Amino acid sequence: MFVIGITGGIGTGKSTVASLCREAGLSVLDADKISHSVTQSEGLAIPEIIDVFGEEFINTDGSLNRKKMSDLVFQDKKALDSLSLIVHKYTIKQMGIYLDELENSGAKVAVLDVPIPVKEGFLDRSDLVWNVTSDKEIRLKRLEIRGLSRNEALRRMAVQMTPEEYSELADLDIVNNHDFDYLRKQVNQILSEVLTPRGLSFNKI
């Protein structure tokens, strides 16, 4: 099975690229969705989160209080790193299980949508890594549309890897500075260049 890993910073359009791959008929595993499952009530990551951060970051139903945790980690990189280590440990483990299930089911291509390009479970499982990137001001405008203030958006960007660090880990940069139709055409062309020579099919988008 051929595995494409997609990563990129907040506001770059990484998830949009992943959704286009899904539209092309490819199986997409979304790390964000999986991470939500491990931090829900009785989620696998909850006991360790309590050990590190305390009960005050847990809702009464036993799930992670995302608002309170976000307020902390996007102002404190050490706290963000600690949370990321916990959540990603369980997220990547679960994603690996899903990936193995896809391969065993006969899937020919899979896509991993992962915001933090960890080595074990992402880079070592991906045959090709795409980095979605955009200019800073374009990213900020997208995040403001999503409801974040400029200062909050800048804080979140600041605690992530730099665009250069993302790019160094990737085999290919997808520059998302234009409209959706342009991005669609770009992804369609890249899929054709990557999959067709390998005899792998996809739905033209």
Query: What is the predicted pLDDT for the residue at 167?
Result: 96
Query: What is the predicted pLDDT for the residue at 203?
Result: 96
Distance of CA 132 to the CA centre of its chain: 10
Provide the 10 A C-beta neighbour count for residue 140: 17
Phi, psi dihedral angles at 52 (to 5 degrees): -85, -40
Query: What is the predicted pLDDT for the residue at 42?
Result: 85
**What is the residue type of 190?**
I
Q: Which CATH class is domain 2-193?
A: alpha beta
DSSP state of 56: G
Query: What is the predicted pLDDT for the residue at 201?
Result: 95
Beta pairing partners, 111:
4, 28
Token pair listed for 3: 């595995």
Q: CA-CA distance, 5 to 117, in Å (whole number)?
A: 9
Beta pairing partners, 112:
5, 29
Where are the domains positioned within the chain? 2-193
Residue 97: CA count within 13 A, CB half-sphere: 6
Query: What is the predicted pLDDT for the residue at 57?
Result: 97
For the chain, the residue count is 205
Token pair listed for 141: 């405008």
What is the mean pLDDT, run by run of 10 residues, along the chain of 205 residues? 97 97 97 92 93 96 95 89 89 91 97 90 96 98 95 92 96 97 97 97 94
Cα–Cα distance list, 28 to 40, 66, 67, 120, 128 (Å): 21, 24, 27, 18, 14
Q: CA-CA distance, 96 to 118, in Å (whole number)?
A: 13
Query: What is the predicted pLDDT for the residue at 84?
Result: 85
CA–CA–CA angle 77, 79, 82 (5° rounding): 110
Q: CA-CA distance, 177 to 20, in Å (whole number)?
A: 16
Strand positions, DSSP E, 84-127 = 109-113
The sign of the dihedral angle between the CA atoms of 10, 28, 128, 92 is: positive
